[in-house]
Amino acid sequence: MSEGYETTHQYEPLRVPSAWEGEERRFIAQLTEIFDDLYRRFNRLRFEDFGGALKKRIENTEGAASEAIQTAEGLSFRVSGVEGNVASLEITSDALQSQVKNVEGAVSEAVQTAEGLSWRVSNTENGVSSLQLTTAGLAAAVNNNRLRFTAAGLEIVNSLGVPVFVQDNATGNLAITGQIQAASGHIGGFLIEPDRLSNGTSIVLSSTGFVRLGKLTITDDANYGPVLRGDGGICLMVSGNLYGVLANGAFTVQVPLEAKFGLLANPYKTTSQPPNVHMDPITGELLRSTSAGGTGGGNYATTAGTYVNIRSGPGTSYAIVGTIAASGTQVQITGAAQSGFYPVQWSGGGISGWISGTYLNI
């Protein structure tokens, strides 16, 4: 080396004293090469601002690049491709956040903190999906339609913010807003068909208005409205008590029958009052009469004792033609009294005759 030899070091050139011999000069030359190599390496890696941050960036000739920045607050990494796709990661003492974005604008993000995790995916058509997991519960959303799992239960909220499905974990109650539509499948033991719900045997609920519960059928008639049909008959029961039976063309009432405007039919009560109910022989209508009736053949009475005799004439000298065993039996008085006896017609025995007024409640 000559006395004026200088290195390629950009800061301070290494000068060789003129009095140095060959060995000393070769040693200086080796040191120079080492410093030059270190300089080139540091210059290529581009470390900047060693006091506040450490930044590293590597690029290739096609334009792809990776970059890392380290500070006292945390670390960040970013990788970009020649197509425009970018992936990044940031780490701080509070959170870990990552993001991936493509050239079309679709983005997926993930954030982790001490409170929980969250994910979010979006595209250029305004489609957004998200998922949040915390100690309070799990929430998922797609374009503002949300599904929430919490300790209180399950809730589904539509895009308008209206809860459409709520399950209360404490009571087990289920609330549904809107319609449930299904073409097939099962709910419990019920079979779902396109137009009806059935248990496959005796229970059918049809969308046409047809309902079948065992041998009981309910249909909707255009003229009469709901029509109730029973195979063999229909029984009316309340709390295990039988109140009425409709079968074989007749309706049998087991309890007092009360109609509007004062009509009451009670099979367990009798009276000596004249009848005030009239059946129209043409229309069959049952009418309440406002007149109590006279003393003619329309009056009724009841027996005032047991084993009351019916005689062929108005006196004890006449023959006995029948005997009414039960007290309180109703008979029809068909005429005026004679010698204290009343002419009667006993429909229960099909007998006509005379009964002493002593044994009648008139």
Tell me the pLDDT tens digit for each residue of 27-64.
777 777 777 777 666 665 544 444 556 777 777 767 77
3-state secondary structure the chain: CCCCCCCCCCCCCCCCCCCCCHHHHHHHHHHHHHHHHHHHHHHHHCCCCCCCCEEEEEECCCCCEEEEEECCCEEEEEEECCCCCEEEEEEECCEEEEEEECCCCCEEEEEEECCEEEEEEECCCCCEEEEEEECCEEEEEECCEEEEEECCEEEEECCCCCEEEEEECCCCCEEECCCCCCCCEEECCEEEECCEEECCCCEEEECCCCEEECCEEEEEECCCEEEEEECCCEEEEECCEEEEEEECCEEEECCCEECHHHCEECCCCCCCCCCCEEECCCCCCEEECCCCCCCCCCEEEEECCCCEEEECCCCCCCCEEEEECCCCCEEEECCCCECCEEEEEECCCCEEEEEEHHHEEC
Q: Which has the higher per-residue pLDDT, 148 or 28?
A: 148
Tell me the pLDDT tens digit for each residue of 186-211.
666 677 777 777 776 667 777 676 67
Task: Judge contact between 218 and 234, C-beta under 8 A.
Answer: no
pLDDT band at 358 (very low <50, low <70, confident <90, very high): very high
What pLDDT score does 47 carry? 45
Tell me the pLDDT tens digit for each residue of 334-345.
888 999 999 999
Q: Is the pLDDT of residue 307 over 50?
A: yes
pTM: 0.41
What pLDDT score does 268 carry? 62
What pLDDT score does 1 carry? 38
As a whole number, mean pLDDT of residues 15-27 equals 71
